Amino acid sequence: MYLILALFVTAAPTKTVNVTTVATPPRIDGRIEEVWSQADSSDDFVQSWPDDGGAASERTVVRLLQDDGNLYVAFRCYAARHRPVAVLYGLEEEVTLFLDPTDSRSNGYFFRVYGSGLYLDGMLLDDGNNWDWSWDCVWYAATKMYDDRYEVEIRIPFKSIRYRPDAVEWGVNFDRMIAANQERLVWQHVPEEEGGMRVSNAGRLAGVDPQARGYYFELYPEGFVRYDQDARDTVKTVADIAERVRPRASLNLKWDLTPQTSLNATVLPDFAQIEADPYSFNLSRYPTYLSERRPFFVEGREFFRMTGSRNGYGSLNTFDSRRIGKAVGQEPVPILGGLKLTSRQGFTNLGAIGAYTDALKDTGGNVIEPRRAFGVLSGRTRIAEQTTGGLIFSGTMADADDYNFALGGDWNFSTGPHNAVIQAAASDRNGKTGWGLNSTYSGLLNGNIAAEGALQAISDSFDVTDIGFVPWAGRVQFHAAAGPRFRGRGELARLTVMPRLGFTREPGSDNLSYGAGVGANASLRSNCYIYVGGEAGQQAEADTQFPVNSLNLSVEKTHLKYNLSFGGNAGRGYNYSRGFVAYNASDWLYYTFYIAGHVAVVVGGSNNWELDPQNRVVGVTTVARPRVDVRLNSKTSINLYDEIVLRTPETRWDSTQFRSNRIGCLFSWNFLPKSWLYVAFNDFRFDSGEGLALASRVGAVKLRYLFYF
């Protein structure tokens, strides 16, 4: 198998850049001074977009230095043809550093700096197939703009990242985006068909020699004052308001026991969401997946997951951290504390989580959710050069009769444009056991045939309700697609046309659903992206069989001054909200325009149209999400947002009613690395039958300060 797949891969020669040790480090102010002349440099960048592998239109020079405790990187980005752009909102210049300090050839870090001085970081997972933007560490960057160039300096403390002291070389790559024409340049070329950034195909950083051997300790005391009010509260006087003001404190810590091993802990954390999960219109039988945004679970979450696939067909997610401290209605289950240990030993990653939640009671003192203990153990190792395998055990227990456990394992092979994943899992919930299998493939055959597929089988009794997110118990499905990929000429940069077919057996049905269709993706040089697709077949669901068909369109256009996204879909299916087979359709339009480089205004929303079996409109749900974001500088921002949900019976627009309205604002100030001041307000109202009534109102002032040693 390895030999067959390797026949389709043509790898670019691996580049190497050396890091130079200096006694006097550079000052991180965006000005490349004389000390940088000692460094090895590299300037042989090529395009990754729009002309993959083509010559760069502007020159870029990168240099690297180190001292005992830090890695320093400098970008000098020439702009002879395009004046550099620096704005706090909108498209602007950007450079990105990619590092694989453990030489894992699978996971790594990225550090991105913008022309305005904004910078962010994250992790590359699954050989770059998935990007985690939520990871955060202490590092420093500065930018200086000139008429004919801009310069970026970066300092990354070695103690801020996990590295392998015995690694002779690190993986490294550099990326630049030119704002004026959105041309993207890369140092170590990774062909566009391979996904644009592969950790396994990174260049080599030679001579790196970290001397930071001390412990690294982060202490996060948090102080916050919250005002909480819900529909049951009667607020008439100042004393009533004062009763709902609750000062609280929590403590979070991170201790790097070694450069490879970290211990995280949290005590009485405040996990309230400043901006609640967005409203989702859902007519299917399956719940909507909610992403994780809470810092304790975000840190190191790459350890506690099965390998994801490139094509997004889904995963056996036997551990979902949102189950810990889950929301019951509008009220989150309180978390008393949590402990997490993660370690990278050579090419092996190990992790453990323990957490304990308090009981949640209603106003009458009745227990809605009992106290629970949660535990997760995971391990992943590199089996071969481009193959990894992992195991994860997750569980929760309230008592001997109320528990949920799962054991999962996966195998991942990735080389060039090819990626294959196999997952298997078993569950036990209160004595009911089950199993699940999932496998996916995506790749490029013979250089220009894009192919992907998925096979999933989950037993009826598989159940990870209390610890994971796999709601498809009893489902069996197979999907496959393959078609030509073209490099276009003129305005058309890329075109992929993929016929597809598949079958599914939905839970509770003895018959198979099947269908075939075709989808086309077009990328234009004017930075416009278009998808058109359609499908037809036979559906077997909810004790009935019926013909189905669907059409889909989506368009996105990016520009220096605006971003536009619109589209729609229509299809016949089973409406679980109303209990019949009919057509449903949706459309959306979002337009973001940028004002003076400091303000982003978002207007738009979506409509969801429900029809009956006689093709008459029986209801329209409209979701509008206006938003105004203001950045005072690269560290301070103000966000004003609203989410309005309207319901129209049939098409009687004069009878449209508010279903809910959530309005809020957030002031945030990042005054030091990983240290924040938040001031927030959130008001949520719902349709009570007599107009909008208060569901919850939250106001908060929160200070999070990082002490690190």
What pLDDT, on a 0 to 100 scale, did the predictor assign at position 279? 58
Query: What are the angstrom distances between the C-alpha of 561 and each of 13, 81, 82, 517, 529?
Result: 38, 19, 16, 36, 17
Which of the pair, 500 or 277, is modelled with greater confidence? 500
The DSSP line for 100-161 is ETT--SS-EEEEEEETTS-EEEEEEEGGGTEEETT-----EEEEEE-SSEEEEEEEEEGGGS
Bridge partners of 411, per DSSP, are 389, 422
Query: What are the angstrom distances between the C-alpha of 461 and each of 426, 428, 464, 653?
Result: 10, 9, 10, 45
- How is residue 691 written in tokens? 């107009």
| 3-class SS shares of the chain: helix, strand, coil, % to 5 | 5, 60, 35
Task: Please state, as a whole number, how many other Cβ atoms lie within 10 Å of the Cβ of residue 259.
Answer: 20
What pLDDT, on a 0 to 100 scale, did the predictor assign at position 4? 38
Question: How far out from the chain centre does Cα 128 lie?
Answer: 13
pLDDT band at 234 (very low <50, low <70, confident <90, very high): confident
pLDDT digit string, tens, across residues 59-83: 999 999 999 999 999 999 999 998 9
Which of the pair, 350 or 4, is modelled with greater confidence? 350
First to last CA, the chain: 49
Alpha carbon distance 36, 79 (integer Å): 20
Which of 407, 474, 477, 390 lies closest to 440, judged by CA?
Answer: 477
What pLDDT, on a 0 to 100 scale, did the predictor assign at position 271? 56
Bridge partners of 279, per DSSP, are none
Q: What is the mean pLDDT of residues 105-116?
A: 92
Alpha carbon distance 392, 317 (integer Å): 10
**Helical segments of 163-290, H only:** 238-243
Strands 16-18 and 203-206: parallel
pLDDT digit string, tens, across residues 358-391: 999 887 788 889 999 999 999 999 888 778 899 9
Contact 175, 185 (CB under 8 A): yes
Bridge partners of 426, per DSSP, are 407, 435
The DSSP line for 340-398 is EEEEEETTEEEEEEEEEE--EE-TTS-EEE--EEEEEEEEEEEEETTEEEEEEEEEEEE
Alpha carbon distance 233, 361 (integer Å): 17
What pLDDT, on a 0 to 100 scale, did the predictor assign at position 242? 74
Is pLDDT of 241 > 70? yes
Rg (CA), the chain: 26
What pLDDT, on a 0 to 100 scale, did the predictor assign at position 270? 67
Mean pLDDT across the chain, nearest whole number?
Answer: 89
Which of the pair, 193 or 279, is modelled with greater confidence? 193
Residue 296: how many CA atoms within 13 Å on its side-chain side?
31
Which of 51, 337, 48, 340 lies closest to 194, judged by CA?
Answer: 48
Q: What is the mean pLDDT of residues 250-276?
A: 78
Alpha carbon distance 130, 23 (integer Å): 38
Q: Which domains does the chain have, with CATH numbers?
A: 2-206 (2.60.40.1190), 279-474 (no CATH)
Which of the pair, 191 or 123, is modelled with greater confidence? 123
pLDDT band at 430 (very low <50, low <70, confident <90, very high): very high
Q: What is the mean pLDDT of residues 344-352?
A: 87
Is pLDDT of 290 > 50? yes
Lowest-confidence region among 234-238, 464-468, 473-477? 234-238
What pLDDT, on a 0 to 100 scale, did the predictor assign at position 240? 72
Alpha carbon distance 10, 573 (integer Å): 44
Is pLDDT of 250 > 90? no
Task: List all residues 6 or more positions away from 216 whose beta carbon is below 8 Å from its beta carbon.
Answer: 159, 160, 255, 256, 708, 709
Which of 633, 645, 705 lies closest to 276, judged by CA?
Answer: 645
pLDDT band at 274 (very low <50, low <70, confident <90, very high): very low
∠ CA 445-448-450, rounded to 5°: 60
Q: What is the mean pLDDT of residues 463-485?
A: 94
Is pLDDT of 162 > 50? yes
Which of the pair, 612 or 191, is modelled with greater confidence? 612
pLDDT digit string, tens, across residues 195-230: 667 888 899 999 999 987 655 788 989 888 888 888
Is pLDDT of 2 > 70? no
Is pLDDT of 683 > 50? yes
Task: List all residues 6 or more positions away from 489 whose beta carbon is below 8 Å from its beta carbon.
Answer: none
Task: Please state, as a whole number, how many other Cβ atoms lie within 10 Å of the Cβ of residue 621.
Answer: 19
Is pLDDT of 536 > 80? yes
- 3 state SS for 627-695: EEEEEEECCEEEEEEEEEEEEEECCCHHHCEEEEEEEEEEEEEEEECCEEEEEEEEEEEEECCCCEEEE
Q: How far is it between the farthest Cα atoms of the chain?
A: 79
Bridge partners of 75, per DSSP, are 62, 152
Q: What is the mean pLDDT of residues 446-457?
A: 91
Q: What is the mean pLDDT of residues 460-486?
A: 94
pLDDT digit string, tens, across residues 7-44: 344 456 899 999 999 999 999 999 999 999 999 999 99
Is pLDDT of 273 > 50? no
The DSSP element (H or E) to which 6 belongs, if any, is helix 2-6
Contact 402, 122 (CB under 8 A): no
What pLDDT, on a 0 to 100 scale, did the predictor assign at position 282? 66
Is pLDDT of 276 > 70? no
Q: What is the mean pLDDT of residues 141-159?
A: 95
Residue type, position 346, single letter: G
Contact 62, 73 (CB under 8 A): yes
